[in-house]
Amino acid sequence: MPPLDVEAILRGLSLQEKIALLSGVDNWHTKPIPRYGIPSIRVSDGPNGIRGTKMFNGSPAACLPCGTALAATWDTALIQRGGELQADEAVAKGVSVILGPTVNTQRSPLGGRGFESFSEDPVLSGAMAAATVAGIQSRGVSATIKHFVCNDQEHERMKQDSRVSQRALREIYALPFQIALRDAKPWALMTSYNRVNGVHASEDPYLLKEVLRGEWSFDGMVMSDWGGTYSTAEAIKAGLDLEMPGPSFMRGSLVNHAVACGKLHEDDIDACVRRILEFTDKLLPLGIPSNAPEQTVDTKETAALLRQVASASIVLLKNQNKVLPFAKEKSTCVIGPNAKIAAYSGGGSASLPPYYAVTPVDGIAAVSTGRVDHAVGCVADNKPALITNIIPQLSMAVYDAPPSNPARRKVDDMTIREANLYFYDYHPPLPSSHCGAWYIDFAGTLRPDATGEYLFSLSVAGTARLFVDGALVVDAATHQTPEGTFFGFGTGEIYGRVRLEKDKDYAVTVEWGSLATSPMQTHGAESMTGGGIRIGCARQLDVDEEIQRAVALARQADQVAVVAGLNADWESEGFDRGALGLPGAQNLLIRAVLAANHNTAVVLQSGTPVAMPWIAAAPAVLQAWYGGNETGRAIADVLFGDANPSAKLPLTFPARLEDTPAFLSFGAERGRTLYGEDVFVGYRFYEKAGRDVLFPFGHGLSYTEFAVDALCVDASEADDHLRVSLCVQNTGTRGGAYVAQVYVSQRQPSIARPVKELKGFGKVFLGPGERQTLTVPMSLKYATSFWDEQKKSWAMEKDTFDVFVGGSSADEKMLTSFFVVSETRWWNGL
């Protein structure tokens, strides 16, 4: 496709054509104008894989581990390769723009999208964002760093006001974006849903004009989050180029009106259109035509890279008595609610149907040469697992009217293999004259493998009723309570119980009505979605019986892995977690198994920290996150030592929720969220307040040992560099990797600063006995400065700065040195 002559096109476009370019045409495409060779550009989530054009019943994808897992690798080269992989997947699906990476900050471990973001530390987060962007854009595909800024909770995400000091905004929340811009120049940025200090980020001239385009010289395209454009003239004037999705809510004829009354000038529109055209022009060399077909590229190479990234992300938190690695020839018992499900991703827009997903039991069975047994022990959830675990496929018939109308017409049907469905981008083939609700009948046959009481559940955006053999079991139509599911439009779980006999066939049917039928008052962009439904079903387990069964198996085994944790029902876009604890009877189960067999490793899957009240009794613990398609194989690689763990925590694991910095101010009250902990986020708080934690930031063990020495620090104000080098030796008998974490601390700052702050890091792979020099290059001004609110600038003060280098923020054997800054300097920009 020939390049666009942006200025000539701008001169030729009519005002109406320009206005049309300012918003998407549908959920995932921009507006084409063929007469000028402007194609429709396809965008897709992001941030850990490419879903393509369908949120409902989409085509399968490669799924990388979640954001926190990627950051846990502390390996920018590997994460860059992950970015390349995403770009290749994108091109196959006709996608030119990836909606990721997510670069928000875990103020609290409870944030619903905490799993999507990288780290509580802005330098680690910025480095991971830059590596991802560099990987994606090296293939000519655009990354979109999101959500700018302070979108750190899901509670009231569209309307709440993140009240944050300028200092915390700059030093913690905006810094990852700043670093990514400095190091990798993303071509696009997505604004957040929320307000920041009173103004919605998507129409804030301070954030978008002054900071982003002014100080940081960002010359890419700015798009809104989906349904996150809330004004016409203000947003355009602030430089929000593209409203997504389409068709437009806030633009179209409203822009005409704003021009007519002089709230907008054509120049304001031209500025946005120019950036949209320049952005489009950058993507043309990809050669992706409008409406390109969606293809998948599920290759061996993809699987190998996904496995490598996933195993590099698993953190060995504890390993007393060298319980790990397990021996392959010994008998292994795999216990726990996450053992036989593949918790590959968190929920919300980051989730996608994977090509395949390996469960921990399958991963372990594939590696072990000894006997492998399994017991569930307990369920992770107070709500039953998806019904598709026991009825693998359901028929789905779509109608124009409810079942009570005998004249209703079937307009579509299909078979589905998922039971958590969001009809965001599915539009039934109804005539344009049809307005309002539409209906679906789901049906399947359930043949129980055990007699007992079965718990059915429905959570719905819309209305639904579930019947077994024609008898009503769950009524999710009459009484509904909003609970933030389905991106804020859905109810909590509504339950019903039935006793079922083993090996008998039961007809399960669900009658669903779209969002328009819901009796619930929801506020938001209702027209963006048809609604959704989650259908759950599981046999009711007797907790004591199941735990006893697991304990009996554990006693007989040589070694035991308890695979516990959370899943996409707990960690998701749309709502925050309510507690730090493991749900269900998992703590009881873990304690019982630990008492039964001392050769037990607890494997935790969660995107953010969970409490571990049994930690003293657990000899070995792995933090395995949500590991993508290869999650089960990666867990097996680390458990049996095929991969030597080298990951480090990108988040502090606190002992109690009450200890966390945002404990008193997480979640909105009366429309505002006070970022009261200021710059003391994560380890910056725990260290300053002298609070004990469960596992500190940067912690992670290995199956080998390392020795470090010969620290050298070279700082130059003239060249703006801080170069730290050290010698690392692998003193053990296995190959492994060491992560050198460089922390800097100002001796006598003029304002309160954290005890120390991460300013750079480097990872080195060493064979047994091998020794190497590792150099970590940094910018001196970034390594020393704080944000001076009075000067509205970064301040690098004349002072002595200590340097601490170690394998964790709490490393007892840190190498130390210092450097001196001779002159105070204020600076702005990148």
Contact residues toward ligand BGC (CB under 6 A) are 45-46, 99, 146, 225-226, 349, 487
State the nearest-atom distance from the C-beta of 58 to ligand BGC, in Å: 11
How far apart (Å, rounded) are the C-alpha atoms in residues 628 and 358?
9
Sign of CA dihedral 319, 322, 327, 331: negative
For ligand BGC, which is the closer residue by CB, 487 or 640? 487
State the nearest-atom distance from the C-beta of 113 to ligand BGC, in Å: 8
State the nearest-atom distance from the C-beta of 667 to ligand BGC, in Å: 18
State the nearest-atom distance from the C-beta of 83 to ligand BGC, in Å: 17
For ligand BGC, which is the closer residue by CB, 201 or 538? 201
- Strands 706-716, 721-730: pairing is antiparallel
Q: Are 766 and 730 in contact (CB under 8 A)?
A: yes
Residue 766, judged by CB atoms within 10 A of its CB (0-12, 13-18, 19+), counts as: buried
Q: Is 787 helix (H, G, I), strand (E, B) or coil?
A: strand
How far apart (Å, rounded) are the C-alpha atoms in residues 315 and 309?
12
Phi-psi map region of 531: left, alpha, beta (phi>0 left; psi -120 to 50 alpha) = left
For ligand BGC, which is the closer residue by CB, 530 or 696? 530
For ligand BGC, which is the closer residue by CB, 226 or 512? 226
* Dihedral over alpha carbons 148, 275, 238, 213 (to 10 degrees): 60
State the nearest-atom distance from the C-beta of 457 to ligand BGC, in Å: 24
Residue nearest to ligand BGC (CB): 349
How far apart (Å, rounded) are the C-alpha atoms in residues 609 and 656?
10
Tokens found for residue 321: 């008595």
- For residue 291, report the phi and psi dihedrals to the nearest 5 degrees: 55, 35
For ligand BGC, which is the closer residue by CB, 100 or 736? 100
Whose CA is closest to 584, among 336, 334, 317? Answer: 336
How far apart (Å, rounded) are the C-alpha atoms in residues 47 and 98?
7
Tokens found for residue 370: 């000894």
Strand partners, 494: 458
For ligand BGC, which is the closer residue by CB, 48 or 137? 48
Tokens found for residue 420: 């958590």
For ligand BGC, which is the closer residue by CB, 148 or 703? 148
- Strands 161-163, 315-319: pairing is unpaired
Residue of 75, 121, 152, 225 marked catalytic = 225
Strand partners, 414: 396
Sign of CA dihedral 211, 213, 217, 219: positive
Residue 432, judged by CB atoms within 10 A of its CB (0-12, 13-18, 19+), counts as: exposed
503 is an active site residue:
no
Q: Where are the beta strands (DSSP E) in 292-353?
A: 315-319, 332-335
State the nearest-atom distance from the C-beta of 517 to ligand BGC, in Å: 23
State the nearest-atom distance from the C-beta of 422 to ligand BGC, in Å: 10
State the nearest-atom distance from the C-beta of 532 to ligand BGC, in Å: 13
How far apart (Å, rounded) are the C-alpha atoms in residues 240 and 227?
13
**Strands of 97-99's sheet, edge to edge?**
43-45, 97-99, 142-148, 188-191, 221-223
How far apart (Å, rounded) are the C-alpha atoms in residues 624 and 632?
9
State the nearest-atom distance from the C-beta of 229 to ligand BGC, in Å: 12
Task: Report the catalytic residues.
Answer: 225
